[in-house]
Structure formats: C-alpha cells, structure tokens
Amino acid sequence: MEKKGSVLIQKYELGRLLGQGTFAKVYYARNLETSMSVAIKVIDKEKVMKAGMMDQIKREISVMRLVKHPHIVQLYEIMASRTKIYFVMEYVKGGELFKKIAKGKLKEDIARKYFQQLISAVDFCHSRGVYHRDLKPENILLDENGILKVSDFGLSTLSESKCKDSLLHTTCGTPAYVAPEVINRKGYNGKTADVWSCGVVLYVLVAGYLPFYDANLMDMYKKISKGEFKYPNWFNPEMRTLLSNILDPDPVTRIPIEKIMEHTWFRKGLNSKVSGIQLRIEEEPAKCELDSVFGPSEEAKPVVNLNAFDIISLSEGFDLSGLFEKNEHKKEVRFTSRQTAKMIILKFEEMAKKLKMIVAKKEGGMMKFERLNEGRKGMLLIQVEIFEVTSSFHLIEMKKSNGDSLEYRKVMNEDIRPALKDVIWTWQGDKPSSTESSVAATASYTNTNI
C-alpha cells in the first residue's frame, strides 16, 4: 500500500494524494536523482484485470507515447510491480481548468488563449491518429504559468480502431460535452466528435455555464442532437459565428479543425511572444516497453491453415484483381518462409526494435507495426498476417493500413526487407520464377497433408 514518504523502485519518493478513481490513484512524487516533481498514477492490476480493462490500459499507454506535445501531459516512463502499474507523468501544478471556471466566466482573451492551446493539442493528436473522446475542463490542466495541458487519455482511441465503415462505434465521454453523433449510436468520426467537445469547452469558458443542460438527461440529449442553445449577450458576433460552425449537429458540415485554426477570431494574439501557443509540433514518442509492464504476450498463432485453393488465390501469378481495378503500387506484399511461426514473429519483433517501431500483437497471427513519420498523415501503420501451410512453412502478407504510400515503399525496400532476410524463403513478385516456385513448393507441402 502506497504511503506518503515511501520510495517506489528506489527512484521516486511519494508525496500527497492528488486524486483517485475506481482503478487508480494519482500521487505527487519527487525523483530522488534529479529532484524533479512528477505525478505518478498507480493502477491496481487485479482490479483492472477483473474489470476486463487491461486492453484499455494498454491503449492508454500506446496513445500517450504517441502524443508528446507542449500542451499534452507528458508520460516519462512506466514501471510495474507484481500488483501495480505506475505511470510516471509530468506534474502540472496549477490543477484542473474546471477549478478556474468554477469561480466564474473568463475574459474573452484568456478563454481564447486556452482554446488556442487546446486546439493545438487536439490537432496534434489527430495528426497522430489519436482521438481523445473525453475532452472537458476536468481533463484539462494548467501549469503555474497558465499553460494548458490535456490529460486523461483513458477513453482515447487510435485510428486503427475504426470499423469497416471508417467510423467509431463506442459510446463514451461525458454527457454534456459529447457530440450528437456519439449519442445517436450510428457511428462517428473521432475528429469531428473531438471538435464538438472543444466547442462546448470554449462556450463554458466564456459563458461560465454549459450550452446544453437539462436536469432530465433525455431532454439534454434532445437539445444536443438538435444543437439547441442560446448565446449570452456578451458573446461578440465573430465568436458566435465560430461557435455556430463548431456546434453544428451535423458532423458532415461541422467546421474541421484546420478551418478553426484559420478563423480570424482564433488567430488573434497568436503572434504574441508570450502567448504560449505552439502549433504543429513534431516530436518523437515517449519510449516504454509494454512487455516489461504486462509481462511477455502470448505467442501469436497463425490465422488459418491454408488449403490448395487458398494458396492459389493468394499467389501473385493467379491474382486477377488487375483486370478490375487500377493499382500501380499495391499495398500488400507477400513472402514465404520455411521457419516456424515463433521464429517469424521473433524476427519481426527484432526488426521493430531495430527500426524503432511500435509493435502491437493481435490474436490469430496478426501483428501491427506503428512508425511515426512527419507531416499531417501521421503514423505509418503496417499490418502483418501469418498464414500456416504446415508447421514449418508459412505465407506472410504485409500491407499498409495507414500513412503515406511513398514512406511505406521506402521503409519496405530500405528497412524491412533487409531486416527479414534470415526468415524469407522467397518474395512474391521479384521474378516470374519466384512466384512459380513459391506456388509449386507450397502446393507440394499442402499435398503431403491431404
């Protein structure tokens, strides 16, 4: 049990309790080596596992290491004991933005400065394929200099979590700040949902109260769905126009974050040297190894045992897709291997470590690799699927599921192919004979099992 004055992992001295929830407590702490103040989130492993929330914790870690930005609470490191997980984070001394507005509405210039910083952080998250989904004043902190820091990524998600319709389908967030399309449960775009929440935050900062509120939750949802709210008389016309475009109940016509950043009301004061705004920052993610926290993950198993008909359909020489669609640069590449699935997975993990890529294993022989690249297209996501022909013969398919195609081809040719040379038997498509020998050999292996 954590107590004030106790020392964690011979490195951090715990101080006062800053806050607590169902599964975690947050403490002030001091680094004994550097004397730097930090906040440590202590998560109870047993409670989390019983509640089936381990995947959510893993996702929070993955998200936080992707979003290193001046206006986002920084994750320094992750530690673990047999029963606890420790998030060591930036200590933000000023507390919640909510406490500031609880005293009353803010002046427009102050509210605009906070809103600019909030949009900067959210825009950066979106460029990394991260959607917060629970933006509200309670999850926004202020440091001693009044610099805003977005926190609590417990409900955030990654772009790879989208369904086949490219929409998210998990209803989450705080009712008063949640977008209409989230309530309607028809699927929603994480970007536009976050934009709506930012608009509600701006309204609250300047008005001192919520735009959509009713003691009856269903009535409040009706107001949100229709976008029914009124402006106080002190809201100037320029800000009203911007807010009307943000709090548009139709996500299709709602103003995108790029247009918000171009709006004249938003741009005011951005050239000030003391504004504290930093837009479009490109940073490397915080490094943290999930295996050291949760223990080694289970060995991924091949997705399916292939039969001769599967092999033919996956073989490049029999691929008829070119007759129906134009695709100069195919997203997927395939190779065969005489190594075991365990050896192939191990080689992929070694490759990822060498190339500083993030590995996310999926059940059923599927792996995903994340690599940050510059620009607004965000992270490069490569999906790997391992198909078993026999226990010592496999077909591996790799394809890009997110990111820039030029970057993907460069990484594939210059980094991935050389790194995997020890497990590759033959690449499909390198030479005409490669495909033929691959199909023939694979069919031969299959026939021995029939």
Cα→Cα distances 423→193, 199, 311, 385, 441, Å: 44, 52, 19, 15, 16
Q: Which two tokens stand for residue 283?
A: 């940073």
- CB of 61 within 8 A of CB of 286? no
- Please state, in angstroms and rounded to a whole number, the distance separating the CA atoms of residues 282 and 300: 33
CA angle at residue 118 from 114 to 122, to 5 degrees?
A: 175
Amino acid identity, residue 78? I
- CB of 337 within 8 A of CB of 331? no
Pick from 327, 430, 347: nearest CA to 394: 347
- Point out the catalytic residue in the list 134, 152, 194, 248: 134
- 134: annotated active-site residue: yes
Pick from 27, 34, 36, 35: nearest CA to 5: 27
- Please state, in angstroms and rounded to a whole number, the distance separating the CA atoms of residues 315 and 309: 10
Q: Which residues contact 436 (CB under 8 A, 6 or more apart)?
A: 317
- CB of 313 within 8 A of CB of 334? no
Specify the residue for token string 């607004």: 376
- Please state, in angstroms and rounded to a whole number, the distance separating the CA atoms of residues 130 and 61: 12
Pick from 398, 393, 230: nearest CA to 330: 398
- Please state, in angstroms and rounded to a whole number, the distance separating the CA atoms of residues 49 and 65: 22
Burial class (CB in 10 A: 0-12, 13-18, 19+), 284: exposed
Residues pairing with 89 in the sheet: 39, 75
Pick from 375, 445, 449: nearest CA to 407: 375
User: Coil, strand, or helix at residue 58?
Assistant: helix
Q: Active-site residues: which are they?
A: 134
